[in-house]
Each structure stands twice: as C-alpha cells, then as structure tokens.
Amino acid sequence: MSLSVQKGKFIPRDREWQPEALTPAYKSSVKRSPQAALLSFPSTLSEETSPIFNNNILGPLDNDLIFNHAKPGESAIGARIIVHGQILDENGIGIPDTLVEFWQANAGGRYRHKNDRYLANLDPNFGGCGRTITAENGFYEFRTIQPGPYPWPNGGNDWRPAHIHFSIFGYGFVQRLITQMYFEGDPHIKLCPIVNSLTSKEAVDALTAPLDMKRTIPMNCRAFKFNIVLRGRHQTYFENRKEGL
C-alpha cells in the first residue's frame, strides 16, 4: 500500500473512500444501517482515557498463534505464516506503543466460538487469537496459520475469503478501530458481498496483504505484509469508525 508522505500537513478525510452503511447485497447491513438521522453523544472520561499499553502486559506467546493455545509438544495445524507491517498515521509516520489484537478462523475455516456451526473440525491446539504492541516506529509482527474460507448465510452460496480480524487501540478505549486483512490471490475476494460494498479497487487492495518472500523463513513460514493507515486520504477501511482515529 503506497502512502504519500506530507509531514506537518493535515490530510482531509476522503469520505467517498468508505462504503455506504446500507448495501443490500450484504444482507446484515439492512438491519444494521441507520434508519434515521445520527445523534452525537458526548464521550465519558472512561472512554477518553485508558491504560498505557506496553510490553509488560504481553505473555511470551501472545503473538504466536501457532503455539499460544497448543499443548506441550504440539502446534496448530495449517500453513504457517508471518504477518507483519506498520501502523501509520496520515503522514506515513509509524505509531509506537499501539495495542494490536487479532483473531481468526482455523485452517479449516472454523472459529473457536460456540455459535460457529460450520462442519469443519476444531483444532484443539489452535485458539485463534493473540495480541502484540507496536515498536518504536509502529512495526508489528505475529505468527499464525493461514485461515481457511468458510460459508456464511448471506445468500444461497456465499463464502467469506480467508481473513484475519484486527483491532487497533489508540490512547483511549473510545479510540478502537476494527478491520480485516485478506490474502493476495484469494479468488473469494471479488465474490464477497462485504468486500464488494467498498467503493474502489484501491480500497480493496488496501485490505489485501501481498506475499512477502523477503520475510519468509525457509522450510518454516511464508510471510504477508499488511500496513494499516489510521486516517487521511489513504486510510484503511475500518468497520466500526469510518473516519479513522
């Protein structure tokens, strides 16, 4: 994802970059989209403040989904991958000390959740979630297995592309952004009603992580690079806050 760096200059939000709240092909949006004018509520002190995140809150395997839920001597089943990138502001500056959480389905496309009734088997050694803190220049990295696609009851035969969910925390709990990452070359991307609610190919590309052979570990892990831009003209699409932080 390219980003034009303009240090010291405010970059206006491009609201056309984001999809409409009501996109009937994505059936859940029909009930979830606002039916009346939006109301603004003042934030509370607890929303505007939060703990200062640092590596002291992390466990030794929080950023390794291959092993963080596995029994001793075991590991998660699936193709091993590294996901890495940078959390950036609108001027291309990396943001340190940002809590990044991630969760996903297993290699068969099933979540470890009581409401997931997909026929794929659960992996007893895969929990499907983790977290990390960005480094000084906003870089993050974690290991996991590549998730599988799965069917969902949107239409007669709709499948979600393989994806990983991300939650990014700012300096207050009200500053939480949620997005998801897709994988380069997945044929389900162009068929997904959620993806097709986006307004441009550039927006879809910003959610699609390319293969990064330079960061692979031979005979071990492939790697995918996924940068997240918090706001500005090139911001990543966020499901819960379209204007970014």
Q: Known catalytic residues?
A: 111, 150, 160, 163, 165
From CA 3, how far away is CA 88, in angstroms rounded? 9
Distances (CA, A) of 89 to 117, 128, 212: 39, 28, 22
Q: How many CA atoms lie within 13 A of 136 on its CB side?
A: 0
CB of 131 closer than 8 Å to CB of 61: no
Nearest-angstrom CA–CA distance, 168 and 1: 18
- d(CA 94, CA 171) in angstroms, rounded, equals 15
Q: Which residues of 132-142 are buried (b: 16+ CB within 10 A; e: fewer)?
A: bbbbeebebeb
Query: In the chain, count of helices (H) and strands (E)?
Result: 3, 11
